[in-house]
């Protein structure tokens, strides 16, 4: 009697254990499992959307991967405002008539009505975070201007072992309807309170690890993870691990409630 062929061992994770977590009010997505999107108007580019209006957010944020030689076929002018933050590699970015090569830590902001294009002219893949959303205009308030910058030149605030880089938008800058900041935490430090507020967040872990409170549950997060936090979700961050922790944070600001 012949025997059935030996079966290889079941690989770890085959039954779907992972840290991805989606609720109507917040979401946690590790990078593994976010599928590739390919869009018209882009060549040799992959997008991995981490949040969008389909999930309940009022903005979209994606990981943009640009292969050498890749980029936009034509300037993007879609009625949205755009923010790019380079994580690795290099991107040549054009905002209207302004052009700059962005290296890791570099960023660009294209307000509504500004043509945006980018191209990877280096020999390695470029990785960037891409945020886009409609602009909420205010009567009597001028539109924001396009901007290039780098985290090393951004204003920095330090408080009790925590720090913040103001990349885009400063408190009270009414032309901006969202801000982009880098929040940093030394080992063992934490945000000073449990926040509950009208703003929503997109949080991307740049480095380190920590515990993130969402609602009444704590979640362990680390480099490469993304979190969407809807309005009023109780939240707090506590840095763990052997090194400081930093994340790039989106926050909508400076606009009244909508009825």
11 located within any domain: no
* pLDDT reported for residue 11: 67
Dihedral of CA 120/151/81/146: which sign? negative
Written as one string, the DSSP assignment of 80-116 is: -EEEEEEEES-EEEEETTEEEEE-TTEEEEE-TT--E
The radius of gyration of the chain from alpha carbons, rounded to an integer in Å, stands at: 20
pTM for the full predicted model: 0.93
Q: Among 206, 210, 204, 205, which residue's Cα sits nearest to residue 240?
A: 210
Instruction: Report the alpha-carbon distance of residue 169 to residue 180 in Å, rounded.
Output: 7
Instruction: Report the alpha-carbon distance of residue 178 to residue 42 in Å, rounded.
Output: 26
Instruction: Report the alpha-carbon distance of residue 80 to residue 134 in Å, rounded.
Output: 5
119 located within any domain: yes
Instruction: Report the alpha-carbon distance of residue 174 to residue 170 in Å, rounded.
Output: 9
Two tokens, residue 123 = 């020999």
| Residue 49: domain span | 22-252
CATH number at residue 37: 2.60.120.10
**Mean pLDDT, rounded, for 26-41:** 96
Instruction: Annotate 178-195 with b (16+ C-beta within 10 A) or e (fewer).
Output: bbbbbbbbbeebbbeeeb
- Are residues 93 and 150 in contact, defined by beta-carbon separation less than 8 angstroms? no
Q: Structural domain tally of the chain?
A: 1
Dmax (CA) for the chain in angstroms is 87
> 6 falls in which pLDDT band (50, 70, 90)?
confident
Does 4 have pLDDT greater than 80?
A: no
Residue 175 vs residues 134, 224, 259: alpha-carbon distances, Å? 13, 31, 21
2 located within any domain: no
16 located within any domain: no
Two tokens, residue 174 = 């009414």
Report the residue count for the chain: 259
Using one digit for the tens of pLDDT, what is the confidence trace for 210-259? 999 999 999 999 999 999 999 999 999 999 989 999 999 999 999 999 99
108 located within any domain: yes
192 located within any domain: yes
**Mean pLDDT, rounded, for 130-152:** 97
211 located within any domain: yes
Does 17 have pLDDT greater than 90?
A: no
- Hey, which residues does 102 pair with through a beta bridge? 91
> 169 falls in which pLDDT band (50, 70, 90)?
very high
243 located within any domain: yes
């Amino acid at each position: 009697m012949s025997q059935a062929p030996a079966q290889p061992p079941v690989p770890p994770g085959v039954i779907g254990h992972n840290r991805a977590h989606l609720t109507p009010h917040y979401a946690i997505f590790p990078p593994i499992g976010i599928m590739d999107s390919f869009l018209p108007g882009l060549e040799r580019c992959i997008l991995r959307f981490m949040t969008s209006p389909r999930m309940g957010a009022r903005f979209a944020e994606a990981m943009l991967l640009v292969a050498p030689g890749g980029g936009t076929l034509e300037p993007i002018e879609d009625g949205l405002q755009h923010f790019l933050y380079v994580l690795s590699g290099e991107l040549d970015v054009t905002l209207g008539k302004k052009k700059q090569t962005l290296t890791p830590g570099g960023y660009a902001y294209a307000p509504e009505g500004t043509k945006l294009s980018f191209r990877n002219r280096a020999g390695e893949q470029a990785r960037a975070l891409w945020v886009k959303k409609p602009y909420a205009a205010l009567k009597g308030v001028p539109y924001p201007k396009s901007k290039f910058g780098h985290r090393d030149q951004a204003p920095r605030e330090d408080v009790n072992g925590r720090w913040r880089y103001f990349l885009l938008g400063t408190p009270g800058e009414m032309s901006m309807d969202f801000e982009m900041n880098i929040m940093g935490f030394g080992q063992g430090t934490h945000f000073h309170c449990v926040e509950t507020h009208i703003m929503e967040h997109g949080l991307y872990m740049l480095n380190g690890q920590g515990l993130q409170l969402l609602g009444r549950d704590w979640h362990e997060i680390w480099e490469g993870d993304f979190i969407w936090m809807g309005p009023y979700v109780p939240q707090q961050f506590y840095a763990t691990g052997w090194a400081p922790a930093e994340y790039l944070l989106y926050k909508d600001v400076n606009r009244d409630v909508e009825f």
